[in-house]
Amino acid sequence: MSQIPRDTFDDNGLFTNPENKEKTTYSFQNDGKNSLKKAVNYFLNHLKNSKLFELEYFDTSVYSNKIVLEMETDL
């Protein structure tokens, strides 16, 4: 949930909480499925076009997937 603008004042000139702008929800099932689909498409496009993968991308992918899997087991 985000609140904007950050500098919001009441009638007395004191800071007050801004209104909620939007609420963002996260679904491990839906978002995970979409992310996996994008990752597989990226992988297949690289294979199809005989492109190389940067090692940094691989390391980042392994690390981020580890974090997501750990978060999912904590729920």
Nearest to 17 by CA among 29, 8, 26: 8
Per-residue confidence (pLDDT) for residue 1, from 0 to 100: 47
The average confidence (pLDDT) of the chain is: 79
Q: Per residue in 5-31, pLDDT tens?
A: 567 888 888 888 877 766 667 777 788
Report residue 27 as tokens: 């679904």
Report residue 55 as tokens: 């090692």
Q: Taking residues 31-58, what's their average pLDDT?
A: 86
Per-residue confidence (pLDDT) for residue 4, from 0 to 100: 54
Longest dimension (CA), the chain: 65
Per-residue confidence (pLDDT) for residue 48, from 0 to 100: 94
Per-residue confidence (pLDDT) for residue 6, from 0 to 100: 64
Q: Taking residues 40-63, what's their average pLDDT?
A: 88
